[in-house]
Amino acid sequence: MTSEEQITVLVNMAFAGTSGSFRPCAFFDDRLDCIRVIAKDCSVMETRISEYITVLEDNYAEESDSTPYVGFTIKGARHFCAENGLSLNAPIQVSALLNAILKSFPDTFVEVFVNGIARPLVKTERIEQVEVSSVSGPLLQPA
């Protein structure tokens, strides 16, 4: 067996059973201290709309798609959640998260984002809560 074949076997063994079909989701990214809401598995362009909010847009959206928006990120999640009484020790309802965004950032642009992009996206994709449990495994452990 060549080195290349050995590497292929090792990689296949390491990732066996871990892949599956994509599901729209919302989760707390502990390492980057952000909440990510992702409705589609695709190449995205990130557009920051405020100091804390970034919208994810499908780079190759079809004209038939109802919207190019496929998710969003909230930066500084620990502080944001603490300031708004949202615990990162249990799943957070997305509706409560969106209400907290409106309360924290009373800006017309943010209101248009929440009510025109975020709420329809999470409703259509049935993303009900932000998962906060850590993913553990040898590849994701801190250095």
Q: What is the pLDDT along the chain (143 residues), one digit of tens a residue?
A: 677 888 888 877 777 766 668 899 999 999 999 999 999 999 999 999 988 999 999 999 888 878 899 999 999 999 999 999 999 889 999 999 999 999 999 889 899 999 999 999 999 999 999 998 654 434 333 43
CB of 26 within 8 A of CB of 127? yes
For the chain, the structural domain boundaries read 20-127
Instruction: Report pLDDT for 134.
Output: 52
∠ CA 18-40-80, rounded to 5°: 95
Retrieve residue 132's tokens: 């906060």
Q: What pTM value is reported for the model?
A: 0.77
For residue 8 the two structure tokens come to 């292929």
Q: Which of 41, 17, 12, 36 is nearest to 26 (CA)?
A: 36
